[in-house]
Amino acid sequence: MAGRTYILEGHTPVLEKNALTWGRWFQGADCHVGDTKKGDIRVSTVFLGLDHGYGEGRPVLFETLVFGGEYDEEMERYFTWEEAEAGHKRMCEKVFGKEVI
């Protein structure tokens, strides 16, 4: 089913069927898994709150996106917080080199 919404309990995504509850939670939530900047380049990894797998298999709920530089707009998506943390680190190493991590 498309349009599934999730909140985080700690680092664990939990399905939230009530749109008002989801919206209130999302307004005040810190959804950043990682946010690394060097000069004008930024690598941001966040909890999306919406299933970007569109109901196909496991919910895709996390995303890393590069802003600026050679890898501008490069993106990866993940199922879990732990995968997102690891993906953020990999992307930072790719974009900035190992010295930033």
- pLDDT tens for each residue of 14-41: 999 999 999 999 999 999 999 999 999 9
Buried b (16+ CB within 10 A) or exposed e, 41-54: bbbbbbbbbbbeee
pLDDT averaged over every residue in the chain? 93
Q: What is the distance between the alpha carbons of residues 78 and 81, in angstroms, rounded to a whole number?
A: 8
Evaluate if pTM is beyond 0.75: yes
CB under 8 Å to 82, separation ≥6 — which residues?
11
Q: Is pLDDT of 1 > 80?
A: no
